[in-house]
Amino acid sequence: MPETSTKPELLPPAALARLEELARRYPTREALMLPALWMVQREHGWISTEAMQYVAKLLDVSPVRVYGVVSFYHMFHERAPGKYNIQVCQTLSCSLLGAEKLLQHLQDTLGIAHGEVCPNGRFMVQRVECLGACEHAPVCQINDDFVFDLTPAALDAKLAELP
């Protein structure tokens, strides 16, 4: 194993301190898997294989366990997503109220399909399953934030006002 301690830490000291604080709440280090991966993703936007090895070392687990976990959970990104990850819900309540048209509109306007990132890196589009906000269907999430009661026009307006 190459020594990684000479490289800059993938997590800043404050995050590491938070993680160690959290460690007191769990009887195993492995239980910090999702919290640690969330910290890495928050810091870097995605989780590289290098970051997976880093987390494996932090938690004293085999790197392949981290890889398996990252690839299992849809919200973890193994590649850099766009600046804004537009996750369009396509499950029944949203589909009943126009999610398919919304998604089509988005793909037509941005020229990218599911899982792709705009050439300028600004947007990524993801079809996702039920986001748990069916009363506001159709919905999407842009990064961590819900956007409710969408129409193609409302989504255009929302995207236009993003910084």
Partner 1 sequence: MTSGTKESPAVQRILSLHFDTPESERLATYTASGGYSACRRAFARPPEDVTEEVKKSGLRGRGGAGFPAGVKWGFIPKNTERPVYLCINADESEPGTFKDRYIMERDPHMLLEGILITCWAIRSHDAYIYIRGEFEDARRVLQAAIDEAYAAGHLGANPCGSGWRIDVTIHRGAGAYICGEETGLLESLEGKKGYPRIKPPFPAVVGLFQSPTIINNVETIACVPWILEHGGEAYARIGVGKSTGTKLWCISGHVARPGVYETPLGVPFRTLLEEYAGGMRHPDRPLKAVIPGGSSVPVLTASEALGVNMDYESLGQLGTMLGSAGVMVIEEGTCMVWALAVITRFYAEESCGQCTPCREGTSWVNDIMWRLERGGATPEDIALVHNLCDNMIGKTICVLADAMVMPAKSFMKKFKPEFDAHIAAGRCPLPQPVRD
Partner 2 sequence: MPKIHIDEREIEAGANENLIATAARAGVHIPHFCWHPALSVAGNCRQCLVEIEGVPKPQIACNTPLKDGMVVRTKSPAIQEARRGVLEFLLLNHPIDCPICDQAGECRLQEYYMSHGLYDARRNVDKVHKPKVVDLGPHVLLDAERCVLCTRCVRFCSEVARSDELYVAERGSHSEIATFPGQPLVNAYSGNVVDICPVGALLSKEFRFKSRVWWLKKADSVCTSCARGCNVRIDHHWNQVQRQVPRYNPEVNSYWMCDRGRTHIDWINEQRVTAAQHGEQTLVLREAFELLAARLAAAGSAVTVVLSPKLANEDLLAWRHLFTAVLPAAHLGAGSLEPAQPEDDILRRADPHPNTWSVQALELAADVRALWQAPAKLLLLVGDDPVGWDPALAAGLARFDFVAAALTNHNATATSVLAAGGLLLPLATHAEYAGTFNNYAGRVQRFEAALAPFGSALAAHEMAVELALVLRREFWPAGKPRTSVQQGIWQQLAPAIPAMPRIDWEHVPPEGLNPTWKPTARPRSVLTGEDATDAYSWGAAPEAARAGEHG
CB 81 within 8 A of CB 121: no
The partner in contact with residue 7, picked from partner 1, partner 2, none with C-beta cut-offs of 5 to 8 angstroms by kind, is none
Indicate whether 121 belongs to the interface with partner 2 (CB under 8 A).
no
- Count the residues in the chain: 163
Instruction: Give the residue carrying structure tokens 């996702």.
Output: 128
Among residues 70 and 133, whose Cβ is nearest to partner 2?
A: 70
* 3-state secondary structure at position 147: strand
- Residues in contact with partner 1, total (CB under 8 A)? 49
What does the alpha-carbon distance between residue 69 and residue 42 come to, in Å, rounded to a whole number? 17
Q: Taking contact as CB under 8 A, which single stretch among the options 78-86, 96-104, 105-113, 117-125 is the one that binds partner 1?
A: 96-104
Indicate whether 97 belongs to the interface with partner 1 (CB under 8 A).
yes
CB 79 within 8 A of CB 46: yes
Q: Taking contact as CB under 8 A, which single stretch among the options 49-57, 91-99, 124-132, 143-151 is the one that binds partner 2?
A: 49-57
Question: In angstroms, what is the minimal distance from the CB of 56 to partner 1?
Answer: 11
**For residue 55, what is the enclosing H or E element?**
helix 49-59
Indicate whether 60 belongs to the interface with partner 1 (CB under 8 A).
no
CB 123 within 8 A of CB 84: yes
Contact code string over 3-22 relative to partner 1, x by CB under 8 A = -------------------x
Among residues 3 and 60, whose Cβ is nearest to partner 1?
A: 60
Q: How many CB atoms lie within 10 A of CB 37?
A: 21
